[in-house]
Structure 1
């Protein structure tokens, strides 16, 4: 028998259906509430609101569980790679050997940027933020591939896999080009013989007279970073993608909107905030000891960044995974006596041993290690969020597909509670005080 919830309003009662997910998550379906009672629900920030039903990612924050399409993140991180996981998220199943080859070939053949788009980079200011450039350029792809951006969901869904490959491949090229453009450096074209992450690093750091060759540990760390960020349920940027998609917008426009949402410092800027925190601690001549004590006493003049998580009330499973890769990359790059790294290790030790942090579950999260990895690789801080966007692209793409493929889908249109002035009469300008 289906579950229901009984809502009592004044002297009326309303029976509401209960939706149960595949992991026994439960939600009260309130879609009939306003029509039958005149009431709406109020949940500022949507912390207790389910905006959709999705089959992509499952999170249990209390237990520290993260799964993509049912597969535990620990298994994917150990046995798979970013490209295979991107295929899984976009297609819904792990690829066969032949399907993986075909997908990799599609990405290789789609990596080059249209020559017309290269000229667009020249018109951005030299100090233009890479996220602004990335968003604009992803949106511009719709101009160069109009058959993939019709704003007709039926037609756009029919070309979904081609569009997905174009975006997954080109986002790294656009990111690298935005970096080089901001520094007045010549563009480096992608190579057909390099894997996804190595190709990105080549486009970022090679020069016409010198080929950058990524150390295996560095490429592995970047691959893992992207894999761990591939999707994370209905966060701010993913919800933005779905919101925009609900209007009928194409995949390029919707993912460009996701980039804009991710740009916000409260969402995509956490790993950069970790580095800024470490820099400020170092500038004060502190090795982290003083800051830890200030944080415990509530006297710190800045927030403790990279610890704890809004969703995970246990250890962030991604942090456990990326930690070892971080140390492997440091060893390969022979980074030993870095003052920011020393402070970070001091904070990590305190978080894992001090009862203040343990009792509050303030464990290091994925942003703590990922910011340090990006810095070690040589990624500038204003590119950190761009790296996040590259990793999150598969999740955005798959969420767009769920919206665009829903025959019963409607444009998203939240309600509000108006708190402004009540009705008042217009006052001519010569009578205003």
Structure 2
């Protein structure tokens, strides 16, 4: 059933807000029913306050379903584990964009289009060189993605389906190239051009790791594991960065600006930056001998210390993305001969404790997707500074799918939340000579 065409099956009364306040109850395909409160203020004179929007739907969507209590993640109805085990990233990108998995013919055409859009305008190299060498790759990606509209003027009629398709192809194709350019620039190596004979994931890896002075060899287990990471990161319903893309897009900003805004949101340590935090935590622990002390701190409710990589805000059971990545993590550790790496041995010991300790089990603090993706990325050689950048590459397909869904939804309005004003009431203007000292809010 398409939730966008679902009729209002019920009506519900909110007795605390006065008479005549029946509101439609919207029934989704999966998940909780929702009250349609679009006319709440008009009918009752009151608004709602929902800090963090944890109980407020901001759109109707048919792209991704998440059930945190049961540990379910589905793209267009397909479970994440089946997609990871049977698809590559471009299969999933097509699925998110178009609603179903591609036929062989559709896949071949899509792969061709993505492959031949993967280069960026050569003038963007000069733009890149305007950044400092030590700039964070995410800062570079924000700037360069937003600047794509300055280099690609065609395809910007957002109400034209063909233009939206061109933009979708360009962004999915060019994001790995931009990410790799940012990385190579930061370490002083020559930029590596994309190769049309490689698949999407392999091409991304060769742009990151190849150098002109020797042939580049791909490790098949590394490609499979990296493909798995990109698929599980491709979308996750209305997270902060996806909401940012929708919010900016609601103003009808160009799609490159919308995706650049999504990258900025993803950069935050409470969002995409969390996978960096896992490796930073392991580095801070230092050695297996220090783990008992760290576990003790994590269990102390009076200690603000938090063990990164365990538990999830949405999932109250084992994160389904972590469950599928765990298998690929062990495979890639074996293939790269890294099981004896001190840092990775320490991570595996933490995993063992978390899966067997009553404290973690009772609180459902299972290893999450950031834990396993961090281990996979480190094993295949992706540096810590690029963790969130590769996440942005993966999430681009989801962002574009949501942006396209929003643009084509006739019910969409520009985002304009309310606020609960708690500042000063009216105050008469005070002349400068009569003003008293006060503590500045921001210095």
Band the TM-score falls in, shorter-chain normalisation: over 0.9
- Secondary structure of the residue aligned to 2:52 is coil
1:290-342 deviations in whole A, cap 9, x for unaligned? 21122223365631111111111111011110011111111111112222112
Contact conserved, 2:95 with 2:102, CA < 8 A, in 1? yes
2:3 match: none
C-alpha separation in 2, matches of 1:265 and 1:16? 38
Structure 1 unmatched runs, 5+: none
Query: Is 1:387 matched with 2:390?
Result: yes
Contact 1:7 1:13 in 2 (8 A): no
Whole-Å separation in 1 of the counterparts to 2:18 and 2:307: 49
The residue aligned with 1:413 is 416
How far is 1:211 from its partner?
Answer: 2.6
The two structures have a TM-score, normalised by structure 1, of 0.96
Correspondence for 2:156:
149
Is 1:236 aligned to residue 240 of structure 2? yes
- Structure 1's 235 and 11: CA in aligned 2 closer, same or farther, altered over 3 A? closer
Other-structure match for 2:105 = 98
> Do structure 1's residue 130 and structure 2's residue 137 form an aligned pair?
yes
Alpha-carbon separation, structure 1, partners of 2:169 and 2:376: 27
CA distance in 2: counterparts of 1:92 and 1:192, whole angstroms = 26
> Normalising by structure 2, what TM-score?
0.94
Secondary structure of the corresponding residue to residue 14 of structure 2: strand
**Unmatched 5+ stretches in structure 2:** 1-7, 437-443
Query: What is the 5 A alignment of 1:10-409?
Result: 11-23=18-30, 25-150=32-157, 153-155=158-160, 157-282=161-286, 286-298=289-301, 302-409=305-412
Are the counterparts in 1 of residues 156 and 164 from structure 2 also a CA contact under 8 Å? no
Contact 2:141 2:182 in 1 (8 A): yes
**Post-superposition offset of 1:185:** 1.4
Q: SS state of the match for residue 422, structure 1?
A: coil
Q: Would the aligned equivalents of 2:297 and 2:305 in 1 still touch at CA under 8 Å?
A: no
Q: Give distance in 1, aligned partners of 2:68 and 2:411.
A: 30
Residue 429 of structure 1, aligned match among 429, 432, 436: 432
Contact 2:9–2:27 (8 Å) recurs in 1: no
Kindly tell me: are residues 63 and 24 of structure 1, through their superposed partners in 2, closer, same or farther at Cα, counting changes over 3 Å? closer
Question: Residue 183 of structure 2 contacts residue 208 of structure 2 at CA under 8 Å; is this kept in 1?
Answer: yes
Find the aligned partners of 2:313 and 2:289 in 1 and give their Cα distance: 28
Q: Is the 8 A contact 2:145 2:257 kept in 1?
A: yes
**Cα RMSD over matched residues?**
1.4
Q: Using the alignment, how far apart are the partners of 2:93 and 2:17 within structure 1? A: 50
Give the secondary-structure state (helix, strand or coil) at the position aligned to 1:3.
Answer: strand
